[in-house]
């Protein structure tokens, strides 16, 4: 189908923005990645469903992304349609209850837990800030993790022993056929950096459960975690977070460091001197530089410790 005809079809009953040949490097924290054929920013579930119908009908490959903070995109770009749900940005307290007795509306004494409805486009940092201000505890250890709620759920993002799965009650998804499905936590298969969701489902929102606490105590804990994270992770540089998953009972960063890879380079990508499981774009890095360094590090670690590292970052497009 001609691009102009496709544009016309996609625009029918669609609220939101469409961009064509959009460079993915502008949507990833690594600042790497060629163009995607079409990028869509639907503003409501109906518009999302309508573009999914067109994608299905025309057999257009689908991709969904959030903040692009765990994403490595091919230099050749991505074929098909990339969907951003950043417009799905609401946070709402929907339910508040005591662990012993129901005591009425939110804010009254005796209430211990709150249920929040969080759209998949909410930046995790905004959610953590909202929770802190309102005295809702449970997310402090995730302070400093970039990206959006949908990505955090899909990746089961975690830090200092807390993972997204710890607070999830249910997740609302849209299947690629456009069906809206609510999955309770026991229907999800969360594990280390995995939500168990089908790869082609789009997370629209989640209900999460937090515990009421003193806002100052929450702020204090959050800033302690952030101080620890800043001391041990290169937060101010261009990265996609941890490149490899921690193998059972070990740390990928430690294995990479022990294999002598700290500071190793491929083109403009460097193994961080601060945290060896972070690869840094020093300015003009390409996806092929990054992949080359991943392969070299994997091989060095295998030779040194016998461990075969598995990628944590998501790779999109042909490499």
Ligand X SMILES: Cc1cc2nc3c(=O)[nH]c(=O)nc-3n(C[C@H](O)[C@H](O)[C@H](O)COP(=O)(O)OP(=O)(O)OC[C@H]3O[C@@H](n4cnc5c(N)ncnc54)[C@H](O)[C@@H]3O)c2cc1C
Is 258 one of the catalytic residues?
A: no
Q: Is residue 146 part of the contact set for ligand X (CB under 6 A)? A: yes
For ligand X, the closer of residues 54 and 78 by Cβ is: 78
Q: Which stretch binds ligand X (CB under 6 A): 10-18, 48-56, 152-160, 298-306?
A: 152-160
Please select the residue that binds ligand X; options are 36, 60, 148, 256, rule is CB under 6 A: 148
One-character DSSP codes across 112-158: -EEEEEEETTSBHHHHHHHHHHHTEES-GGGTT--SBHHHHHHTT-E
Among residues 36, 62, 37, 35, the alpha carbon closest in space to that of 51 is found at: 62
C-alpha of 177 from chain center: 22
* Token code pair at residue 64: 């969904």
Q: Which stretch binds ligand X (CB under 6 A): 145-153, 182-190, 244-252, 299-307?
A: 145-153
Query: Cα–Cα distance between 222 and 66 in angstroms, integer?
Result: 23
* Token code pair at residue 312: 């944590």
The minimum distance between CB 252 and ligand X, in angstroms, equals 13
Q: Is residue 158 part of the contact set for ligand X (CB under 6 A)? A: yes
Q: Name 87's Cβ contacts closer than 8 Å, sequence gap at least 6.
A: 16, 41, 42, 43, 44, 121
Strands 180-184 and 168-174, bridge-based pairing: antiparallel
Among residues 215, 207, 140, the alpha carbon closest in space to that of 172 is found at: 207
Q: Do 97 and 64 meet the contact criterion of CB atoms below 8 Å apart? A: no
| Choice among 111, 163, 270, 312 that is catalytic | 312
Q: Is residue 147 part of the contact set for ligand X (CB under 6 A)? A: yes
**In sequence order, what are the beta bridge partners of 209?**
115
Q: Is residue 152 part of the contact set for ligand X (CB under 6 A)? A: yes
Number of residues engaging ligand X in binding (CB under 6 A): 30
Mask of contacts with ligand X, 242-271, x by CB under 6 A? ------------------------------
For ligand X, the closer of residues 38 and 212 by Cβ is: 38
Q: Is residue 67 part of the contact set for ligand X (CB under 6 A)? A: yes
Please select the residue that binds ligand X; options are 47, 74, 120, 170, rule is CB under 6 A: 120
Is 312 one of the catalytic residues?
A: yes
Q: Is residue 127 part of the contact set for ligand X (CB under 6 A)? A: no
Query: Cα–Cα distance between 58 and 60 in angstroms, integer?
Result: 5
H-state helical runs in 200-286: 215-232, 252-258
Please select the residue that binds ligand X; options are 62, 125, 264, 314, rule is CB under 6 A: 314
Residues designated as active site:
193, 242, 312
* Residue ranges binding ligand X (CB under 6 A): 29, 64-71, 85, 120, 145-148, 150-152, 154-155, 157-159, 202-203, 235, 239-241, 314
């Amino acid at each position: 189908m001609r691009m102009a005809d496709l544009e016309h079809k996609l625009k029918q009953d669609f609220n939101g923005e469409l961009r064509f040949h959009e460079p993915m490097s502008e949507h990833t924290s690594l600042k790497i990645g060629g163009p995607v054929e079409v990028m869509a920013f639907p503003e409501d579930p109906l518009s999302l469903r309508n573009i999914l119908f067109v994608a299905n009908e025309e057999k257009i490959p689908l991709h969904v992304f959030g903040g692009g903070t765990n994403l490595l995109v091919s230099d050749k770009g991505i074929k098909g349609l990339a969907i951003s749900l950043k417009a799905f940005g609401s946070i709402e307290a929907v339910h508040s209850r005591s662990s012993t007795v129901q005591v009425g509306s939110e804010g009254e004494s005796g209430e211990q837990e709150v249920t929040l409805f969080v759209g998949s486009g909410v930046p995790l940092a905004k959610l953590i800030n909202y929770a802190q201000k309102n005295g809702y505890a449970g997310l402090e250890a995730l302070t400093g993790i970039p990206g959006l709620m949908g990505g955090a759920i899909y990746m089961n993002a975690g830090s200092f022993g807390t993972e997204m799965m710890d607070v999830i009650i249910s997740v609302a998804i849209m299947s690629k056929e456009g069906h809206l499905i609510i999955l309770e936590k026991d229907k999800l298969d969360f594990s280390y950096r995995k939500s168990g969701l089908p790869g082609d489902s789009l997370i629209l929102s989640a209900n999460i459960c937090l515990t009421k606490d003193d806002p100052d105590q929450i702020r204090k804990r959050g800033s302690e975690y952030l101080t620890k994270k800043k001391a041990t992770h290169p937060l101010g540089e261009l990265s996609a977070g941890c490149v490899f998953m921690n193998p059972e009972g070990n740390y990928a960063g430690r294995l990479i460091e022990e294999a002598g890879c700290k500071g190793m380079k491929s083109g403009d990508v460097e193994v961080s001197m601060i945290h060896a499981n972070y690869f840094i774009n020093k300015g003009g890095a390409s996806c092929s530089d990054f992949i080359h360094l991943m392969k070299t590090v994997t091989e060095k670690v295998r030779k040194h410790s016998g461990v075969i590292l598995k990628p944590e970052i998501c790779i999109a497009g042909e490499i």
